[in-house]
Amino acid sequence: MRSEPMAPTLQMTLMPAMLLLQGAAALAPAAVPMQSHAVSAASAASRCAAPCMGEALVKLGTRGSPLALAQAYETKRRLALAFPDELADDSAVEIKIIKTTGDMVLDKALKDVGGKGLFTKELDVQLLNGDVDICVHSMKDVPTWLVPGTILPCNLEREDTRDAWISPKGTSPMDLPAGSVIGTASLRRQAQLLARNPGLKCVNFRGNVQTRLRKLEEGVVDGTLLARAGLKRMDMTEHITTVLEFDEMLPAVAQGAIGIQCREGDARIINYLAALNHEPTKVAVDCERAFLAALDGNCRTPIAGQARIVDGELLFQGLVAKPDGSVIYETSRAGRPEDAVKLGTEAGEELRAKCGSMEDFFLGEEIAPEPASSMSGKATDGLGGYSD
């Protein structure tokens, strides 16, 4: 069978992203109260229907990490290519960094500070208030529910969705001896690792890609896993030891996909985004997110799911697991792409029935705190440095 081709390498220029990153602290917005969703979205759409003279035609909101900025600049590049007469000038699309709670609280596991909405709430506020016109997201960070008054009509063509194993001590997590320490903030990864190698110890490991790689070099952990898509987008694939196949590590729902959110009813912006949407990617992501929604999944739950179109047929596989990997339930579906949401929902409902009480099923081994550096002997502060 022939599968849809992988997205071509995203050729991004990271220098402007890094320069913008340096000014992130100065650009971080003050807290803005969330207005009534309907009133806020309507008034924002009205204000932004025709930008004032001197204003950017599109204001793009993004988190400030190097990966988030790379994705923002890629979106800006694609808008310029799709609308050269309007958006080719560098000033036509303005990138605005928005700090999120998830970016500022790095010394705790995601499940302990509220889950994935931590990476989107502040962006939602700015979008509804009209301070930005679009928000660019890594889709795996976007909750299955969207704030009323906003829509997510666009997915860029998806990258390779597989997880990358990075370690100086073994070509696979299966090669490492009992007691080896794996850095990951993901219960999904922990559960699948422990199911195949119960002797491993998983510890919390957060921060941007560069921070995690630096801590790996310092011996804080013996190995870690990152999405191959993010490494590819930042031209950092040389760090990969092995790319793990789906039967070794099923990726997260929506992994490798970039989504672009806008206000409902903003016809000008919706027209721009329609030109960027990659329909096969959107079909797959919609299926996966329907699966996650049926399970009421979030960062507190070890859930994985992947959909792809092969020879015109939509194929889906998903799993749920106990955090310690002692129990894994798997499912699969095949059907028409137009039935993507139905297929994902049915798959999620099947596994939900097998799990029984979801709260009880997901009780189990937690990810341990991050250990001290074997080089400095100091505990990390979660921000790439070390506490005293």
Q: Which residues are catalytic?
A: 141
Per DSSP (E only), the strands in the chain are 58-62, 93-97, 134-138, 150-155, 163-166, 181-183, 201-203, 223-227, 242-243, 258-263, 303-310, 313-321, 328-335
Q: Is 123 helix (H, G, I), strand (E, B) or coil?
A: helix
Residue 125, helix vs strand vs coil: helix
Q: How far apart are CA 285 and CA 282, in angstroms?
A: 5
Does residue 317 sit in helix, strand or coil?
strand
Residue 11, Cβ density class (10 Å: 0-12 exposed, 13-18 middle, ≥19 buried): exposed
Structure tokens at 190: 């922990």
Backbone angles phi, psi at 225, to 5 degrees: -125, 140
Nearest to 204 by CA among 217, 192, 215, 218: 215
Tokens of 151: 């829509």
CB-based contact 160:230 (threshold 8 Å): no
Q: How far apart are CA 118 and CA 141, in angstroms?
A: 9
Sort strands 58-62 and 134-138 into parallel, antiparallel or unpaired. Answer: parallel
Cβ 298 vs Cβ 178: under 8 Å: no
Contacts of 6 (CB under 8 A, 6+ apart): 158, 159, 160
What's the token pair of residue 263? 């206000």
Instruction: Check if the beta carbon of residue 292 is closer than 8 Å to that of residue 302.
Output: no
